[in-house]
Amino acid sequence: MVWNLVAREGEIAPGKAKLVQVDNKQIGIFYEGNKYYAILNICPHFHAEICKGHVTGTLICHSFEEYEMRHDELVLRCPWHHWEFAMDSGKAVIPSIKQRLKIYEVKVEDGNVFVAV
Ligand code: FES
């Protein structure tokens, strides 16, 4: 595992990924809620560029008529078939879907953002 410099702090606007190339892998760097995420830009379903998808909260259903949008657990929604994956773990929101995103470790040092690949 090697730490790779991928961005400067403050360079990435919330809601948009910065796409970087590391070791022939295209990785989307996100900054959401004061936290960085690094996600391989391949949806495990049919290989869409998932980092071009939408970042959103998690919709919790309390009852038939009562829903709550929570933003403490962010998900990335694929632009093709709208499968959603947790940005922290890469797990699909729907438990029956076993495919998951490839997530990379991120660290920030001296204003620089690094990804472990
Ligand atoms: S390619 Fe991503 S949900 Fe189908």
- Tens of pLDDT along the chain (117 residues)? 999 999 999 999 987 899 999 999 999 999 998 899 999 999 999 999 999 999 998 877 888 888 888 777 899 999 999 999 999 999 999 889 999 999 999 999 999 999 999
By most ligand atoms within 8 Å of CB, the mutation choice from 51, 80, 96 for ligand 1 is 80
Q: Is 43 in the pocket of ligand 1 (CB under 6 A)?
A: yes
Q: Torsion angle of alpha carbons 113, 20, 31, 97, nearest 10°?
A: -120
Res 91: pLDDT:
96
> Are 114 and 4 spatial neighbours (Cβ–Cβ below 8 Å)?
yes
Instruction: Give the pLDDT score at 90.
Output: 97
CB of residue 46 inside a 6 A radius of ligand 1: yes
Nearest C-alpha neighbor of 20 from the set 3, 48, 41: 41
Q: Output the residue whose Cα is nearest ligand 1's atom 1.
A: 46
pTM, entire model: 0.91
Angstrom distance (rounded) from CA 88 to CA 105: 10
Domain range 3-116, CATH class: mainly beta
The minimum-distance atom of ligand 1 relative to the CA of 50 is 2
Dihedral pair phi/psi, residue 64, rounded to 5°: -60, -35
Q: What pLDDT is attached to residue 26?
A: 98
Instruction: Report the pLDDT value the prediction gives residue 30, as an integer from 0 to 100.
Output: 97
